[in-house]
Structure 1
Amino acid sequence: MTWLGNGDPDARQSSSTRSRVLPETGNPPCQSVSIDAFIPPLVKSRSTTPTIPPARTTASQSQPNTRIYAQYRLVMDHSISPCPPPGGELNIQDLELMMQWCTTTYRSVSRNSTVEGIWQGVVPREAMRHPFLMHGILALSALHLASATSSNTGASKEDYLRTAKSHQQQAVAGLAKVADHLDRSNCNAAFALSSIMVVFAFAFQGNPIPTVNTQSNALDALMDIFQFTRGSIDVQGEIIEWVADGEFSALLEYDNSQPKMPDTSRLAIMSLARRNTNLATKDPTHEKDVYDATINHLGFSLDKLARGGETMIIAFQWIFRIPSRYVELVRERKPFALAILAHYAVIIHSLRGHWWIGEWGTRLIRDIGQHLDAGWRESISWVIDATGCYIPPV
Structure 2
Amino acid sequence: MVSRRSHTKSRHGTPFALGCSNCKRRRVKCDEQRPFCGNCTQRQDACVYNAEGPYFFAGKQSRRTRQTGSCSSTRQRHTSLSFPEWDTTLNTFRSTNESADSPVLNMEQLQLVIQWIQHTHTFLARNEETRKVWETAVLEEGLKAPFLMHGILGLSALHLSCTRSSEQGRWLSIAISHKNKALSMFSEQLSSINRSNAKAMMSFAGLVVIFGLGSALTPGTDVGPSLDALIEIFTLARGVQAVVNEGFQFLLQSNFAPLFEATPPTIPFAEDVLIAFDHLRELNTQLGQQSVGHDSASYERTIEHLRDMAAFTWAQPTSMTLVGGWAIRAPSQFMSALERQEPFSLVLLAHFCGFLNMARGNWCVGPWGSMVLKEINQLLPSDWQRHTDWPTSQVLGKEHIDSNVSPMEN
Provide the TM-score with structure 1 as the length reference. Answer: 0.70
Report the counterpart of residue 146 of structure 1 in structure 2. Answer: 161
Letter of the aligned partner of 1:88 in structure 2? Answer: E
Report the counterpart of residue 88 of structure 1 in structure 2. Answer: 85
Report the counterpart of residue 328 of structure 2 in structure 1. Answer: 320
The CA distance in 2 between the partners of 1:40 and 1:196, in whole Å, is 21
Report the counterpart of residue 236 of structure 1 in structure 2. Answer: 244
* SS at 2:320 equivalent: helix
Report the counterpart of residue 151 of structure 2 in structure 1. Answer: 136
Choose which of 34, 52, 69 in structure 2 pairs with 1:38: 34
Shift of 1:256: 7.8
* SS at 2:85 equivalent: coil
CA gap of 1:253–1:288, structure 2 versus 1, over 3 A, is closer
Stretches of structure 1 that go unaligned for 5 or more consecutive residues are: 1-36, 42-63, 71-80
* SS at 2:366 equivalent: coil
CA contact (8 A) 2:122 2:131 kept: yes
Q: Is the counterpart of residue 194 in structure 1 residue 190 in structure 2?
A: no
Matches within 5 A, 1:1-394: 38-40=34-36, 67-68=58-59, 84-85=78-79, 86=83, 88-89=85-86, 90=93, 92-150=107-165, 153=166, 156-207=167-218, 209=219, 211-215=220-224, 218-254=226-262, 260-262=268-270, 264-302=272-310, 311-387=319-395, 389=397, 391=400
- How many residue pairs match? The answer is 320
The CA distance in 1 between the partners of 2:383 and 2:253, in whole Å, is 51
Shift of 1:141: 0.7
CA gap of 1:143–1:184, structure 2 versus 1, over 3 A, is same
The CA distance in 2 between the partners of 1:196 and 1:40, in whole Å, is 21
Letter of the aligned partner of 2:133 in structure 1? Answer: I
Shift of 1:277: 3.2
Shift of 1:293: 3.3
Q: Deviations over 1:208-244 (max 9, x none)?
A: x1x31434x5211101111111111100122232122
Report the counterpart of residue 103 of structure 2 in structure 1. Answer: none
CA gap of 1:301–1:379, structure 2 versus 1, over 3 A, is same
Shift of 1:140: 0.4
Shift of 1:255: 7.3
* SS at 1:341 equivalent: helix
Report the counterpart of residue 45 of structure 1 in structure 2. Answer: none
Q: Deviations over 1:224-283 (max 9, x none)?
A: 111111111100122232122122223333578786543543432332233233334434
CA contact (8 A) 2:124 2:134 kept: yes
CA gap of 1:356–1:310, structure 2 versus 1, over 3 A, is closer
Shift of 1:353: 1.4
The CA distance in 2 between the partners of 1:267 and 1:146, in whole Å, is 40
The CA distance in 1 between the partners of 2:318 and 2:401, in whole Å, is 32
Shift of 1:65: 6.7
Q: Deviations over 1:166-196 (max 9, x none)?
A: 2222222322222222222222212222222
CA gap of 1:310–1:239, structure 2 versus 1, over 3 A, is farther
Shift of 1:100: 2.0
CA gap of 1:259–1:279, structure 2 versus 1, over 3 A, is closer
Letter of the aligned partner of 1:369 in structure 2? Answer: N
The CA distance in 1 between the partners of 2:141 and 2:273, in whole Å, is 41
CA contact (8 A) 1:362 1:389 kept: no
Shift of 1:159: 3.1
* SS at 1:265 equivalent: helix
* SS at 2:246 equivalent: helix
CA contact (8 A) 1:279 1:286 kept: yes
Q: Deviations over 1:3-54 (max 9, x none)?
A: xxxxxxxxxxxxxxxxxxxxxxxxxxxxxxxxxx62249xxxxxxxxxxxxx
Letter of the aligned partner of 1:112 in structure 2? Answer: N
Shift of 1:304: 6.2
Q: Deviations over 1:320-358 (max 9, x none)?
A: 011234233323332221111011112212211111111
Q: Deviations over 1:55-95 (max 9, x none)?
A: xxxxxxxxx9772468xxxxxxxxxx996135735555333
CA contact (8 A) 1:291 1:326 kept: yes
Stretches of structure 2 that go unaligned for 5 or more consecutive residues are: 1-32, 38-54, 62-73, 87-92, 94-105, 406-410
Percent identical pairs in the alignment equals 26
Q: Deviations over 1:279-321 (max 9, x none)?
A: 3443444444443332232244346666789943244211101
CA contact (8 A) 1:118 1:248 kept: yes
CA gap of 1:117–1:323, structure 2 versus 1, over 3 A, is closer
CA contact (8 A) 2:265 2:311 kept: no
